[in-house]
């Protein structure tokens, strides 16, 4: 039997948007996952890129220190550094990318670049000691829904992923956030809409649903329909939103979940796949989670719903994706630049 020389420690770093996060894995098991979120954007109703990169600069050192401390290791014990190379906001990415490069050079250990979207999908393989979470087998379908993306991904292996459908305009999370802004609610709107929707009637209002071919999505028509409907209703009753915010939230959520599930059902049926996962920030949504469980019952799907801490941006998923690449010796040169748009 071949004896393992030592444990493999990977540090993951995520800084693609407005969360600074660091995580440590030992032989693929999660030891720590520390995230500093940025409340500075709330006042602006959306992420302000310049403020995000400044906050990353302030947060990156303490967040990495904390992740190493919680994992109970010294930085000299690390075997590799996995980092989000893109897609994301360039000024935000540059902080994590530069930090990862500097630390890897000073420690003389390899760098592993991770595509942020692959990270979200591979969040389903994060395990802590004895957590009992069952990961999907290959191939599986993953609905990846966040503030910046809405995709149906056919996951053939850790590194072989095919986007079978995606939004042609807004992402689902972006649509929720924009509608919530129109209602005068806070930012990000997703969790607020979710909370309000629990006490509302999803049949109270109806909004435009897109009619797009294939497996692609579109959310901009829904957003416009929501805006115009609200404008008309507010003309008659200036306090319309206040009087109906729960029903509005529930109806909006229902419309978005219906749009997402319709295409996912079609893809699963056409591709003959019954293992279906959900990932990304919007996968925290209660209505979407309930729809997955409902589809499991109705269509015999085996569904995979991530823990809440792995839905929004986090470094655990980056470290996990990095671990798979590390095992293959798939390292990245120090000259590799960050990329803001998806290139892989
Ligand atoms: O994956 P993520 O953290 O960031 C990126 O887009 O990279 O996703 C953030 C998105 C936001 O649009 C936020 O409103 C949405 O996820 N979100 C939710 C919920 N929690 C976060 N949307 C609906 N229901 C939620 N509970």
CA–centroid distance, 190 to ligand 1, in Å, is 6
Q: Whose CA is nearest to atom 5 of ligand 1?
A: 147
Statement: residue 295 has pLDDT above 70: yes
Answer yes or no: is the C-beta of 173 below 6 A from any ligand 1 atom. yes
pLDDT digits (tens, 9 = 90+) for 167-208: 999 999 999 999 999 999 988 899 999 999 999 999 999 999
Res. 4 pLDDT band, cuts 50 70 90: low
pLDDT digits (tens, 9 = 90+) for 252-292: 999 999 999 999 999 999 999 999 999 999 999 999 999 99
Q: Whose CA is nearest to atom 11 of ligand 1?
A: 147
**pLDDT in the model for residue 6:** 84
Q: Before 337, cis peptide (omega within 30)?
A: no
Three-class DSSP category at 22: strand
Which value, in Å, is the radius of gyration of the alpha carbons in the chain? 21
CA–centroid distance, 283 to ligand 1, in Å, is 8
Q: Whose CA is nearest to atom 13 of ligand 1?
A: 190
Statement: residue 1 has pLDDT above 80: no
| 231 burial type by CB count under 10 A (0-12 exposed, 13-18 middle, 19+ buried) | exposed
| Cβ–Cβ < 8 Å for 105, 334 | yes
Q: What global pTM score does this model have?
A: 0.94
| Cβ–Cβ < 8 Å for 124, 136 | yes
Residue 35's alpha-carbon distances to 32, 169, 177, 279, in angstroms, are: 10, 29, 22, 18
Report the percent of the chain where pLDDT is more than 70. 98
Answer yes or no: is the C-beta of 317 below 6 A from any ligand 1 atom. no
| 336 burial type by CB count under 10 A (0-12 exposed, 13-18 middle, 19+ buried) | middle
| Cβ–Cβ < 8 Å for 228, 258 | no
pLDDT digits (tens, 9 = 90+) for 50-69: 999 999 999 999 999 999 99
pLDDT digits (tens, 9 = 90+) for 228-244: 999 999 999 999 999 99
Answer yes or no: is the C-beta of 287 below 6 A from any ligand 1 atom. no
Q: Is the dihedral of CA 180, 93, 157, 214 positive or negative?
A: positive
| Cβ–Cβ < 8 Å for 231, 257 | no
Answer yes or no: is the C-beta of 312 below 6 A from any ligand 1 atom. yes
Q: Where would I find the H helices in the chain?
A: 49-71, 90-107, 116-122, 172-182, 189-197, 220-236, 240-271, 286-299, 315-327
| 56 burial type by CB count under 10 A (0-12 exposed, 13-18 middle, 19+ buried) | buried
Point out the least confidently predicted range of 41-50, 209-218, 228-237: 41-50
CA–centroid distance, 191 to ligand 1, in Å, is 8
Q: Which residues share a beta bridge with 9?
A: 26
CA–centroid distance, 323 to ligand 1, in Å, is 25
Answer yes or no: is the C-beta of 147 below 6 A from any ligand 1 atom. yes
pLDDT digits (tens, 9 = 90+) for 73-119: 999 999 999 999 999 999 999 999 999 999 999 999 999 999 999 99
- What does the angle CA 280 – CA 283 – CA 285 come to, to the nearest 5 degrees? 140
- Token readout for 295 is 């589809």
Q: Whose CA is nearest to atom 8 of ligand 1?
A: 281
**pLDDT in the model for residue 5:** 72
CA–centroid distance, 211 to ligand 1, in Å, is 24
Answer yes or no: is the C-beta of 282 below 6 A from any ligand 1 atom. yes
- Candidates 160, 161, 141; CA nearest to 152 is 141
Answer yes or no: is the C-beta of 191 below 6 A from any ligand 1 atom. yes
**pLDDT in the model for residue 43:** 83
- Candidates 183, 107, 142; CA nearest to 280 is 142
């Amino acid at each position: 039997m071949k004896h393992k020389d030592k444990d493999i420690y990977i540090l993951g770093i995520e800084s693609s948007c407005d969360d600074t996060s660091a995580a440590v894995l030992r032989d693929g098991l999660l030891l720590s996952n520390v995230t500093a979120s940025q409340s500075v954007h709330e006042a602006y109703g959306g992420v302000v890129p310049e403020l995000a990169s400044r906050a990353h600069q302030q947060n990156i050192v303490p967040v990495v220190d904390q992740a190493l401390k919680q994992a109970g290791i010294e930085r000299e014990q690390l075997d590799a550094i996995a980092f989000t190379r893109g897609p994301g906001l360039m000024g935000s990415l540059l902080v994590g990318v530069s930090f990862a490069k500097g630390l890897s050079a000073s420690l003389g250990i390899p760098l592993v670049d991770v595509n942020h979207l692959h990270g979200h999908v591979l969040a389903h393989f994060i395990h802590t000691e004895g957590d009992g979470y069952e990961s999907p087998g290959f191939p599986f379908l993953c609905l990846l829904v966040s503030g910046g993306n809405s995709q149906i991904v056919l996951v053939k292996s850790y590194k072989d992923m095919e986007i079978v459908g995606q939004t042609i305009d807004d992402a689902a999370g972006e649509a929720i956030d924009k509608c919530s802004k129109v209602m005068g609610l806070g930012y990000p709107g997703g969790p607020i809409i979710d909370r309000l929707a629990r006490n509302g009637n999803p049949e109270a209002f109806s909004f435009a649903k897109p009619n797009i071919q294939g497996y692609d999505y579109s959310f901009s028509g829904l957003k416009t329909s929501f805006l115009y409907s609200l404008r008309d209703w507010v003309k008659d009753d200036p306090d319309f939103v206040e009087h109906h915010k729960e029903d509005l939230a529930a109806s909006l959520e229902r419309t978005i979940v219906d749009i997402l599930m319709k295409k996912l059902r079609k893809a699963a049926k056409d591709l003959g796949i019954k293992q279906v996962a959900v990932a990304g920030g919007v996968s925290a949504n209660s209505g979407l989670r309930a729809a997955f469980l409902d589809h499991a019952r109705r269509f015999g799907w085996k569904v995979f719903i991530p823990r809440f801490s792995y839905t929004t941006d986090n470094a655990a998923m980056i470290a996990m994706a990095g671990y798979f690449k590390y095992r293959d010796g798939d390292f990245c040169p120090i000259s590799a630049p960050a990329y803001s748009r998806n290139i892989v």
